[in-house]
Structure 1
């Protein structure tokens, strides 16, 4: 590993960033599987969102009370909270009711590097390097294989879920650029997003009278609450934002595009969802594209 690191010319912080990106991949893959499982259970997308925001907000509230918003203005807090919090979660959880886990893996983390690159080019004026283009091109071929195979097998019946997943991915890409542009630290970002979602979502959720939390099995509530609220928000937001700081959006989002491959493979034994030869080929191509990007973008 030392020889490989030396050949890349990486520093300790970059290795930490890579580790954080890979931890994010693992958590995001689990998020897709747990969310799909939740869609098959008794909880609605609004119930799962309530658990996500309630747990993460309460966990991060002491940190926010101690450190404040870190100089962020209210509109900046709202922008981070809507992109990585309310908007992302509601679109994603709703999508799982219309489309399988493999579609979520393809259209959310799979499309993330492309949305990030497009926003960085259109909003920030960043240019595409040859290394970045090559990595995205290879990943794009793999994502296209996965998407085409899934759409053919489902006959396009899942288009509502697919559009919701694409919207969630676009919002997450916007969050990544905002966090990078405003130099928001991992803990600070997690705290302001968690508490913002807690105070803006729970009051109308309770007033609606549509909560299904008390009627759901305790095991289901605990699974969704711990995974969605703690792992998928608190831990994953910290690791993802740390990776953004050290590796930059381009390399970070390319690495996290490994999520479709891992989630699609895991969905076979865990959720009983099938995976064709074309999908397997797509998984392999995506993995190759990420490896190409890690080596070339880091030089």
Structure 2
């Protein structure tokens, strides 16, 4: 299997899990699994799997630095609570629009506010497209239902803010994929579980054991561990731009799948929002006149070998 083929295989794995996140998170509402409970399940399983491995490998020293704690608080606890809660209020298509569609924009804004990194022309184009899409979609929704935005949309946008800050800090601190994944999973459990056990409502008895097992495996193993490792592996083989552009399609595809699979509504306003936010997030114009980084590397190796 060639390096490029391996890269696309890892991209496919990541897309399936990221797309599944939208479907399975929306299923929580129908399966009577609250946001409090799914977070506890996710963090408990992640901690139970990863902490023994870190102890066995004697790699726990990095956990006691401020970086993993902050990343766990933002990309773990805050992100999961707001995103899982949002799925109880609005259909899956809203997640693609207000969460996944807004993450690139929130990341660019966070980079500017935290480290004064200026917007490039691609970010400005995306900003104009996204603001235009949201404005038109909100106007169309208001004309149809007299409600432009809901609490679920606000929670998704807040989730995009958390993830944007998390992404910028992750790049700035340059932690490895293993340290990032395990640090976020373990600190999420250490921060959230004591609060959950002592103060938050619990509704596990309202869900079936089978549904809890399915959600626990998907969110605690596939999302936390497998998707993180497959995404990093894809970036190493295909480059960050191509990998990021392809996997960003997953939530938008999941929103369409949710229509027949979950009986989700999809009106003209939401279709317009999906298309507009998808174009803004994917930035398809950047594919033109942009050489494949893997092919550039292979060409350089050939040139070196010939000399």
TM-score by length of 2: 0.78
Task: After TM superposition, give the deviation of residue 198 of structure 1 in Å.
Answer: 1.8
TM-score by length of 1: 0.80
Distance across 2 between alignment mates of 1:283 and 1:108: 11
Aligned residues: 287
For residues 32-51 of structure 1, what are the structure 2 equivalents within 5 Å? 32-51=22-41
Distance across 1 between alignment mates of 2:90 and 2:187: 29
| CA deviation profile, 1:128-177 (whole Å, cap 9, x unmatched) | 33344445655665566666656655543762111111111111111111
Contact preservation (8 Å) 2:76, 2:188: yes
Aligned in 2, Cα 1:198/1:297: closer, same or farther, shift over 3 Å?
Answer: farther
Residue ranges of structure 2 left out of the alignment (5+ in a row): 292-307
Q: Name 1:235's counterpart in structure 2.
A: 226
Distance across 2 between alignment mates of 1:195 and 1:285: 37
| CA deviation profile, 1:8-44 (whole Å, cap 9, x unmatched) | xxxx69x84x765664443222111111110122221
Q: Which has the larger radius of gyration?
A: 2
Aligned in 2, Cα 1:282/1:215: closer, same or farther, shift over 3 Å?
Answer: closer
Q: Name 2:80's counterpart in structure 1.
A: 89
For residues 153-192 of structure 1, what are the structure 2 equivalents within 5 Å? 155-156=146-147, 159-192=150-183
Task: After TM superposition, give the deviation of residue 211 of structure 1 in Å.
Answer: 2.7
Q: Name 1:6's counterpart in structure 2.
A: none
Instruction: Choose from 239, 253, 256 the match for 1:262.
Output: 253
What is the root-mean-square deviation in Å for CA atoms of aligned residues?
3.3
Distance across 2 between alignment mates of 1:136 and 1:157: 20
Contact preservation (8 Å) 1:69, 1:192: no
Aligned in 2, Cα 1:99/1:112: closer, same or farther, shift over 3 Å?
Answer: same
For residues 3-42 of structure 1, what are the structure 2 equivalents within 5 Å? 16=7, 23-42=13-32
Distance across 2 between alignment mates of 1:20 and 1:153: 41
